Chains A and B, each alone.
Chain A
């Protein structure tokens, strides 16, 4: 009679190495995601630090905590993490997405200005 080498009840690390990330432990950085299906991409920034005053933007003397912004606007961390973890981006791309929203606001493209609206390919800006 043969028995498997692996003893499931034995203490120690699992032989299977897990890949990916822990959904309960956010990773600081920049990410890209949509706030709704068919909406424009927004840049998500996640970091651990002091919170800012939502009105003045000043750092407040509060305990450190996990925070997130979508295109620079504060957003609930649970709203974006871990969904955004699938698509990490660099800071340059994040700045581009923020400027895209600003441009949409200035030129009157509602779906670009408001990421919670669905994009209509018949009215999205021309590319060239």
Chain B
């Protein structure tokens, strides 16, 4: 007993496919074979061959009788096509059901995982918002300090300019007195002081795990249409926009609209086989 079990175990280890059902054809090949067999069994393969052969013998339409025969063969072709589709659907249904069941099971397993992931992401976002708020406060503080420094330096520059103006004015006054003329007013502009704000921005990741996972801030640009009429032609005449407009207009024309500004509505005749 033990020996048999060991032998089975060894076979499976040597060849993982040596299990029950392993001699079946792969499912993608099997369904094609099944379809071909079903079509032969139902006589559809023969019927399609006959229809094609019959159509190859069809003459040009020169009378209402021949047109009627054409209508009949079209009906037969459509019926044959639908029958093939029905056979395909019959084989496809279990596969679709299996696919859905598989996905349902996998989703059921991963649903709590996804929920936990969303919670974790929300917490990280909250932390990132906190960091962003701190950065904003730090930047405001840096700007306030820079402004204070600028005002201090500007006051010094103003004082120096005033001293220079007084010195030059005294020289001008002496010259004017020697030359017996009225002294001109000396103008000395104080230098405008600018102080650069030094803000240290953290360009790297916000946080990093021990195994390499990183949290970084991303920026995505979003939009909102405020006025359709003001959009540029490159948008309004885009192929996809025209396609969407076409769908809306087609629905209205089907529902009875026969006049529309900027649209030519016309009747087109076709054929229908019943």
**CB neighbours of B79 from chain A (8 A):** 120-122
Query: With an 8 A cutoff between CB atoms, is A8 at the interface?
Result: no
**CB neighbours of B78 from chain A (8 A):** 121
Majority-rule SS of B interface residues: helix
- State whether A127 and B47 are in contact (beta carbons under 8 Å apart), knowing that A121-B76, A122-B80 are contacts in the complex: no
**CB neighbours of A73 from chain B (8 A):** none
Cα of A120 to Cα of B80 in the assembled complex, Å: 10
User: Which of A122, A124, A127 lies at the interface centre, i.e. has the most chain B CB atoms within 10 A of its CB?
Assistant: A127
Q: When the two chains form their complex, are residues A121 and B55 in contact, meaning their CB atoms are under 8 A apart?
A: no
User: Which residue of B is nearest A120, CB measured?
Assistant: B79
Cα of A70 to Cα of B107 in the assembled complex, Å: 64
User: Which residue of A is nearest B73, CB measured?
Assistant: A127
Q: When the two chains form their complex, are residues B83 and A127 in contact, meaning their CB atoms are under 8 A apart?
A: no
Q: When the two chains form their complex, are residues A127 and B72 in contact, meaning their CB atoms are under 8 A apart?
A: yes
Interface string of A93-128 (1 = CB under 8 A from B): 000000000000000000000000000111010111
Q: Which of B43, B44, B54, B80 contacts A127 (CB 8 A)?
A: B54
**CB neighbours of B76 from chain A (8 A):** 121-122, 124, 126-127
**CB neighbours of A120 from chain B (8 A):** 79
Number of interface residues of A (CB under 8 A): 7
Number of interface residues of B (CB under 8 A): 20
Q: Which of A121, A122, A126, A128 contacts B59 (CB 8 A)?
A: A128
**CB neighbours of A124 from chain B (8 A):** 72, 76
Q: For residues 64 through 106 of chain B, which have their beta carbon under 8 Å from a beta carbon of chain A?
A: 69-70, 72-73, 75-76, 78-80, 83
**CB neighbours of B44 from chain A (8 A):** 122
Cα of A124 to Cα of B71 in the assembled complex, Å: 13
Q: Which of B43, B47, B58, B75 contacts A128 (CB 8 A)?
A: B58
User: Which residue of A is nearest B78, CB measured?
Assistant: A121
Number of A-B contacts (CB under 8 A): 34
**CB neighbours of B47 from chain A (8 A):** 122
Query: With an 8 A cutoff between CB atoms, is B51 at the interface?
Result: yes
Query: With an 8 A cutoff between CB atoms, is B34 at the interface?
Result: no
Q: When the two chains form their complex, are residues B75 and A126 in contact, meaning their CB atoms are under 8 A apart?
A: no
Query: With an 8 A cutoff between CB atoms, is B194 at the interface?
Result: no
Query: With an 8 A cutoff between CB atoms, is B222 at the interface?
Result: no
Q: When the two chains form their complex, are residues A128 and B55 in contact, meaning their CB atoms are under 8 A apart?
A: yes
Q: Shortest CB–CB separation between residue B42 and chain A, in angstroms?
A: 9
Q: When the two chains form their complex, are residues B73 and A128 in contact, meaning their CB atoms are under 8 A apart?
A: yes
**CB neighbours of B54 from chain A (8 A):** 126-128
User: Which residue of B is nearest A96, CB measured?
Assistant: B65
**CB neighbours of A128 from chain B (8 A):** 54-55, 57-59, 69, 73
Cα of A5 to Cα of B70 in the assembled complex, Å: 55
**CB neighbours of B72 from chain A (8 A):** 124, 127
Q: Shortest CB–CB separation between residue B81 and chain A, in angstroms?
A: 11
Q: When the two chains form their complex, are residues A122 and B58 in contact, meaning their CB atoms are under 8 A apart?
A: no
Q: Shortest CB–CB separation between residue A125 and chain B, in angstroms?
A: 9
Interface residues of B (CB under 8 A from A): 43-44, 47, 50-51, 54-55, 57-59, 69-70, 72-73, 75-76, 78-80, 83
Interface residues of A (CB under 8 A from B): 120-122, 124, 126-128
29 CB < 8 A contacts A-B = A120-B79, A121-B75, A121-B76, A121-B78, A121-B79, A121-B80, A122-B43, A122-B44, A122-B47, A122-B76, A122-B79, A122-B80, A122-B83, A124-B76, A126-B50, A126-B51, A126-B73, A126-B76, A127-B58, A127-B69, A127-B70, A127-B73, A127-B76, A128-B54, A128-B55, A128-B57, A128-B58, A128-B69, A128-B73
